Amino acid sequence: MPVAATAPPSRRSLLPLLGPAMVAGVAYLDPGNVASNMSAGAKYGYLLVWVVILGNAMAWLIQYLSAKLGVSTGDSLPGLLGKRFRTRGARYAYWIQAELVAMATDVAEVLGGAIALQLLFNLPLLVGGIITGVVSMLLLLLHSRRGSKPFERVITGLVVIIAVGFCAGILFAPLDGGAAVAGLVPRFEGSGSVLLAASILGATVMPHAIYAHSALTRDRFGFVPEGPARRLVLRATRVDVTIALLIAGTVNVVILLLAASTLQGEAGTTTLEGAHAAIGAALGPVVATLFAVGLLASGLASTSVGAYAGAEIMRGLLHISVPLVVRRIITLIPALAILVIGVDPTLALVLSQVVLSFGIPFALIPLVRLTSRRDLLGESTNRWWTTVLAVIAAVLLIALNITLLVLVTTGV
């Protein structure tokens, strides 16, 4: 519904408008990001702190543009693209790549939840994957039956658990402040550090987060007419995105710092299971348990949001509405199949990030193009410098994803 606003916006008037960005921001706290940041800290210490911060800055701009698109048009990015493709073949081809990216995202998130349940309760990975899928279905049912606000509240609660779980260890870790500050200076140490930097940066902005954020603001606000109402909502959106990305960025930096201070040089810390064991040995079982709880909350929250994005992709591009729970069941199959076959979970996480790399250009380029069109966004059209920054971010992210693909496929 359009939001009426006649008075200058205040903190009190902005508060009820917050929430969608926290849901979209879960994409930056998913198990894939946790694994990348842990590996970076364990292998290279504080070297890549700057990469996490740079990725977060680019993510802020891109997520704001996505949210602005939903507010200003009353439609999502997939919905707008579905209306603009001239042929059914083009629309279906775009849908196939977007659907594959969404499914790859889901694989990483279900695996993360399954690993967490194994760490906490020693459950088989397959059982943990099923439980993760069932809980995510319940969260999606909440969204379908109760609307966006209750869903946002539950996801926000999971984000709090994620933050506590992943950040608790930093209170006991022997941080090297000087090395951490030095990590703000951009530099690399060999091709391995470039690979990890590409993995962190290239997978930071995930396609499904871009698709989802435009849909989340559309579901919450609908089309907001030009004038004071839209300016109020967009100001709230900037605050919302800032809070969400500040939390996500802080957690990701803390994960890297924790790994750098406690895991560097330790054997077997390239996997989530190994990192958990090393954290327990260095900081005690309580911190290790909190880490596993944070990983579980990460898997549950991110897989729910991923399924929401996938349903929006299908509705916007195919012009058919598939119930979220039905789609949840369909997309759960590949992740469970991987667990049944016995593929190494960490390898599956890495491969899922490679698949995500293919989808980055297909989401970023249309987003920048559409938000630059005055005939579509009116007064909310990007300013020239916003478009320039967005193009730079898009080019950098696409280049990094290509680098990631080359390095992974060539085994560098």
Please report the domains of the chain, with CATH numbers, ordered by start residue: 11-410 (1.20.1740.10)
Rounded-to-integer distance, Cα 5 and Cα 176, Å:
49
Q: What is the pLDDT of residue 11?
A: 55
Contact 78, 380 (CB under 8 A): no
Give the model's pLDDT for residue 10: 53
Count CA atoms closer than 13 A to 182's CA, side-chain side: 11
Are 407 and 199 in contact by the 8 Å Cβ rule? The answer is no
Q: Which helix (H) or strand (E) holds 378?
A: none
Per-position pLDDT tens, the chain of length 412: 444 433 444 555 677 788 899 999 998 888 888 888 888 898 899 999 999 999 899 999 999 999 999 999 999 999 999 999 988 899 999 999 998 888 888 888 898 899 999 999 999 999 999 999 889 888 888 888 887 888 889 999 999 999 999 999 999 888 899 999 999 999 988 777 887 887 777 667 788 899 999 999 999 999 999 999 999 999 999 999 999 999 999 999 999 999 999 988 777 777 888 889 989 998 999 999 999 999 999 999 998 888 888 889 989 998 887 776 777 787 788 888 888 888 777 667 766 766 776 788 899 999 999 999 999 999 999 999 999 999 998 888 888 777 766 776 676 5
Question: Is residue 341 classed as helix, strand or coil in its secondary structure?
Answer: helix
- Residues sharing a CB contact under 8 Å with residue 13, sequence separation 6 or more, in sequence order: 5, 7, 232
Return d(Cα 255, Cα 223) in angstroms, integer.
Answer: 38
pLDDT given for residue 8 in this prediction = 43
Q: Rounded CA gap, 202 and 401, in Å?
A: 5
